Structure formats: C-alpha cells, structure tokens
Amino acid sequence: MGKLTKKRKEALAKFDKNVTYPLADAIKVIKDITYTKFDAAIDLDVRLGVDPRKANQMVRGSVTLPHGSGKVVRVLVLCTPDKEDEAKAAGADYVGLDEYVKKIKDGWTDIDVVITTPTVMPKVGPLGRILGPRGLMPNPKTGTVTMDVAKAVNEVKAGKIDFKVDKTGIIHASVAKTSFDNQKIVDNARELLQNIVKLKPASAKGTYIKSIYMSSTMSYGIQIDPKSVTA
C-alpha cells in the first residue's frame, strides 16, 4: 500500500470507516473530505442482493433527479430528417443519422446519451457492440428509443439518468455535485434509491439493498444507513 498523503490522513481522521452514517451526515462528511480544486461529482454505489446473470433479476431503469445531476450532458439524436428540427429545438447537441452512424463506427463516442426513434433502429442496432459497453445504447425501457424525441431530450437535459446493475450486483450513479446545497443532494439521492427499491425483482430473496456508499471524485467512500434514504 502506498504512503498516505497529508490530505488523505486528514480525511481519514474526519470519519469512522466502521460506522454507517445517516444520509444527511454522510453528505457533510463527503464535503469535508473532498479536496479537489474542481466541482467534484457525488456518486452512489448501491450493492443489491440480486443475481444479474438471471434475466428475472436484472435491475435497470431511469430517474429524473429533482435538481439535476449538475453535469453538462451531450445528447446525440439519431433520426430521420423529419425529426431533426424537433430534436434541435429541444436542445440536442448532435442531430442526424448516416453521418453519425459512420462516425460511431469509426470510433467516435464523445457523447453522454444517444436517443433514437424506432424507425431507424435497423441502422442503430449494429452499433450495439460499440455503444453497449459504454452504456450508450438506446433502449425503449429507458425512454431513449421513442418517437417523442423532444420529450426525451428535455428529460435528459433536465437531469434524467439511466442506471443498471453491473455483473457484480452494484449500481453506480452520479447524483449531484459537491457545490449543491445539502438538501438538494439528499433529494436526488432519495429519488434514485426509492426508484431502485420500486424495481426490486419478485424473484430476489433475502436483503435487497445490502449496502450504500457515497463518495465524491477521488474521495473515500462513506457507508450510508439504507433506512435513512429509503424510509
């Protein structure tokens, strides 16, 4: 293990790694141990009691954070010409079809969300091997395959995020920035967690939410008492 820096020693002295903190207290600790010079993201890591290898225990969905994530989201809309003006008016950063399909095939993925319509999915489908591993593949379940592209763009720009349990049973999501007011971070975190609770698979047995950790960019993780978030 590498030598602890002065700031890491200071951070470790400000919390107890063996304690589960109420959500509001955890946020105060996170802000106190964040030393980045930029506005760090605040992330939640939620370990679930599910087996993601089983289709009936896959947990995925989307949620609109009440106060947004604080992140500037770059949106690509892949659509036919008759939908382009609608997408641009809603604030999409990139709009088109064939030229962007080619760019993606050539390795371009400088985007955060891809929205498309059902009518062009035959052209978008082959991009799955590139977009899928990056979490960018449009999906009807998350509202990113739709004929109402304006609504989809507006929701994403307003703070809608997608989440999905990974192969180890953990959901990772960014819910705020350290510059946010504490109550806004609480609201966003609760919105995400309560949506995850609603998506509990009927086949999942035992404890559903096993642990919740909150961290900021480059900070230590603070364990949160699930009851303080989901109650």
| Residues 134, 9 contacting (CB under 8 angstroms) | no
pLDDT digits (tens, 9 = 90+) for 173-196: 999 999 999 999 999 999 999 999
CATH code at 6-68+161-230: 3.30.190.20
The beta strand positions in the chain, using DSSP E, are: 41-48, 60-64, 75-78, 94-96, 113-116, 160-164, 170-177, 209-216, 222-224
49 has a pLDDT exceeding 90:
yes
Report the mean per-residue pLDDT for the chain: 92
Query: Taking residues 156-175, what's their average pLDDT?
Result: 92
Q: Does the structural domain 75-158 have CATH classification 3.40.50.300?
A: no
Number of H helices, E strands in the chain: 9, 9
Same topology, domains 6-68+161-230 and 75-158? Answer is no
**Is 40 within 8 Å of 216 (Cβ atoms)?**
yes
Per-domain boundaries in the chain: 6-68+161-230, 75-158
Say which residues have a Cβ less than 8 Å from residue 13's Cβ, sequence separation at least 6.
none
Query: Rg of the chain over CA atoms, in angstroms?
Result: 19
pTM (predicted TM-score)? 0.81
Spell out the residues 6+ positions from residue 106 whose beta carbon is closer than 8 angstroms to its own: none
